[in-house]
Structure 1
């Protein structure tokens, strides 16, 4: 299928960052003296903006959530001395896709975090537009996508959303945007299929043949 506009989620779709996010969230919980979540519990909220994700994960009030957010950011920045890797063939795939399509990112990361990830991986030049957690409503709201579509001056059906979580699928589904799920991220393939993606890919480089 041919798409001239492709919007990617970041964590779990382009960057292999789930293990780091889990470790940092568990350490933040320990620092805040609350129950330490399991790997699976943390993976379930990856993709949502940080504050609502933490409230959902721990079932805590705003004040305690703010405390855990502070701990998480501190731990994450300390761990950020070592950059997370991109998934296999990500740079090659983005290079290929950017030759015939305009690319964007819609992510639950804050702007500073995305810019840092781009700098560490030398990938910023692939993306024409991006929207982050501190610039739009959290997924599964479609706000990020609608902002990007408005800048591109296109309709939802003209773009493709690519992501690894049900939140990515929901934000696209809510506005009638075609979507592709990835099976190598944090959410189960069966859960992704409930939101009727065009396909599920098992590696990012499968996008090259899908959108040709």
Structure 2
């Protein structure tokens, strides 16, 4: 069955932002007088809602400290987020999917304000028909984001494909009954991604694009 909707994660999948997010989390923790979680833990939590991510990165933090971590993280990340770039091949893929009439959407751990800002900086908003953010839904891996996007377009789970770079994306897709593919460009390395059963894994969007377009075209010709 052909995919009528492709749901993209944002950070590490669409935008090359993993390094910037990791650094911002680590800086926020040390500024608050909390232990530096290190690059591995700081990158692992990417994709979760910001508050959940910071709670995982700083497990001993009080609620008051978490609130300060959120503010500090935003100051660090927003100071240079306008310099971040889309991964190679993202825009050509979105254009090709739009031309095929495929619904492109986003399910992200970013806030609504953060996603709107990122889309504005990258000039990508016109390619997406809808999106869900962590301050509107349960954080990944809860399937609410996917359930709402499916309902919005009156689609069954088998009509959608999730594209993400973390196990949070893959577990969300699994919980929603949606097929998923991973790209190895973000927060979770292949050995972690492979711990969650999913359809296929690709080195990058560029590697995935011809497969996805061909898959959709072949399914329509049957």
State how far apart, in whole Å, the 1-side matches of 2:90 and 2:210 are: 14
Report the alpha carbon displacement of residue 174 of structure 1 after superposing the two structures with TM. Answer: 0.9
State how far apart, in whole Å, the 2-side matches of 1:39 and 1:97 are: 35
Report the alpha carbon displacement of residue 203 of structure 1 after superposing the two structures with TM. Answer: 1.4
State how far apart, in whole Å, the 2-side matches of 1:52 and 1:84 are: 23
State how far apart, in whole Å, the 2-side matches of 1:168 and 1:140 are: 6
1:113 aligns with 114
State how far apart, in whole Å, the 2-side matches of 1:206 and 1:99 are: 19
Report the alpha carbon displacement of residue 88 of structure 1 after superposing the two structures with TM. Answer: 1.1
In structure 2, runs of 5+ residues without a counterpart are 215-222
Q: After the TM superposition, which residues 1-212 of structure 1 pair with which residues of structure 2 at under 5 Å, given as runs?
A: 2-59=2-59, 60-80=61-81, 82-100=82-100, 101-211=102-212, 212=214
Q: Deviations over 1:137-185 (max 9, x none)?
A: 0001001111111101111111000000000000000121100011121
Look up the SS of the partner of 1:167 in the other structure.
helix
Look up the SS of the partner of 2:205 in the other structure.
coil
Report the alpha carbon displacement of residue 22 of structure 1 after superposing the two structures with TM. Answer: 1.3
Q: Deviations over 1:81-130 (max 9, x none)?
A: x3311111111111112211110000000111111111111101110010
Residues matched between the structures, number: 211
Report the alpha carbon displacement of residue 77 of structure 1 after superposing the two structures with TM. Answer: 2.2
State how far apart, in whole Å, the 2-side matches of 1:95 and 1:206 are: 16
What is the RMSD of the two structures over their aligned residues, measured on CA atoms?
1.3
State how far apart, in whole Å, the 2-side matches of 1:115 and 1:17 are: 15
Report the alpha carbon displacement of residue 73 of structure 1 after superposing the two structures with TM. Answer: 1.3
Give the TM-score of the pair, scaled to structure 2.
Answer: 0.91
Report the alpha carbon displacement of residue 209 of structure 1 after superposing the two structures with TM. Answer: 2.1
Give the TM-score of the pair, scaled to structure 1.
Answer: 0.95
State how far apart, in whole Å, the 1-side matches of 2:134 and 2:151 are: 18
Of stretches 69-78 and 160-169 in structure 1, the one that deviates more from structure 2 is 69-78
Report the alpha carbon displacement of residue 201 of structure 1 after superposing the two structures with TM. Answer: 1.0
Q: Is the 8 A contact 1:97 1:208 kept in 2?
A: no
Look up the SS of the partner of 2:163 in the other structure.
strand
